[in-house]
Amino acid sequence: MNVLIIGAGEVGRNIAATLSSENYNVYLVEQDEDAAKRADEELDARVITGNGARPQVLNQVFSEVADNDDGVIDIMIACTNKDEVNMLACWIANSAGIKHIISRARNLEFTDSPDWAKKFGIELMISPERSLAREILSLLTVSSAIHTAELLNGLAALYAFKVEANSPFVGKNLMTIRQENPNLLAVFVYIQHENGEALVPNGLSKISENDICYVVTFKETTFLLEEKFNPEIKNIRSLKKIFIVGGGKLGSQIAAAIKRDSGRVQLRLIEKDPLKCLKLSQELGEALVLNADGADKNLLFEEGIDQADGYVCATDSDELNLIYSGLAKTMGVKKSIAVVRQKLYQDLTQYLPITIVDPNEALASSILRVVHYSGHSRALSIIKTINAEMLELEIPKDSALLGHTIADLKIPKGVLIALMQRNDKVMLPTGFTVLMAGDYLILFASSELMPQAVEFFNSKVPASNPDSNTQGSSDEI
């Protein structure tokens, strides 16, 4: 399969490296000569230096693909930092007959309505700022979570929690935990032990202090679950005060998400540019916009940083975000988050008491899941930390699995069904749950196993199969 990528920044190189390692034929267009040279040296891809929004450049790629007997470009991904370049590249690709087109969009007017995408033949238009804002809000709300990803349009979520020494889970296996907590609707999908061992657990898997547990749960039981991992967090239910540093696209998106979803939280947005401050103050209403430095200790203490629930540093500088977030944590903020784009800094969380989020990784993951699982528009996130994926998959009407209980299925080892949605009901499936046409399953598996899992659950039989009309049910909420 031939893939054309426009833009050799962090996102473009990440996608190109992943796809070339999976034997895709990757063509990469980059206008900056230094960036193109770096990509050519580092990647197993054909790198073309030029402007991806120019017809001459893209026609050169199309001709080269045809001359190499590779046929045509199957997928085009436009992921530069400039929306205009991405839009024009998509329009040219659509005119050339490329069937699958994916684009990055930073300006929200492009993603507020699907009409823009349709007009340019774009299958998926992604705003990393918008999706990352939701992730950061979730990390702030569930303060002890290390990682989070929304599921089923926000009805449920995946969380990663560290097991504290006083957790009632310590020393118990999952079967015992389920028996002792019948109202705790949660599925443990992955466990990382302190010694480096990791596994997809079963009922006999035991929880130990300092384990990192990846758990799928419903939003209404999230806080109960959090208290089980860290009893000291009990009775903390709502955000009261949040600091945001950086009034760019991401910072303003985070502020808007907090205002929309967190009620009466006291919001402090700090920005150095006075013109941005004026614009933000008009957009954010009751939020306090401060024209200042995000590391001004006197200002932060005056505004109550030591009593704040969260501090998010989202400037354009990774280094600044790391330093400022670290300083805020030493000043007493409950949770400090740094937006970091360069892979070089991703492992610093083991040395700094902060949480790092990467917008480039979030964008690359969103794009890769579409490439890998085309047709699954409700597909979910790739969790690079543990090399795992979560995917939402619909059971087709002619599935060979209809009428069978989950216990009867020979599901590949290492693949879990975390959740199920049937019509408007969301449930935790059990071994007795019978699969029906139209069920949506949330699958969890390693990146290596997920293609096998998709093939398994997409297996089909002729429509006349007598089992195809069997009905089933499960515990619903």
Quick one: angle between helices 83-95 and 55-67, nearest 10?
50
- pLDDT for res 467: 43
Task: Give residue 328's pLDDT.
Answer: 96
Q: What is the pLDDT of residue 225?
A: 92
Strands 198-199 and 156-162 come out as: unpaired
Nearest in space to 20 (alpha carbons), one of 35, 42, 52, 36:
42
Q: What is the pLDDT of residue 207?
A: 96
pLDDT number for residue 235? 54
* Whole-prediction pTM: 0.77
pLDDT in tens, the chain (477 residues): 899 999 999 889 989 998 999 889 999 999 999 999 999 999 999 999 999 999 999 999 998 888 876 678 999 999 998 988 999 999 999 999 998 899 988 776 666 566 767 777 888 888 777 778 888 988 898 888 888 888 877 788 889 999 999 999 999 999 999 999 988 889 999 999 988 888 889 889 999 999 999 999 988 888 889 999 998 876 556 789 999 999 998 899 899 888 887 768 899 999 999 999 999 999 888 889 999 999 999 999 999 999 999 999 999 999 999 999 999 999 999 999 999 988 788 778 778 889 999 888 777 877 887 787 766 545 556 676 777 888 888 888 888 999 999 999 888 888 999 888 898 888 888 889 999 998 989 898 888 888 888 888 888 754 444 443 333 333 333
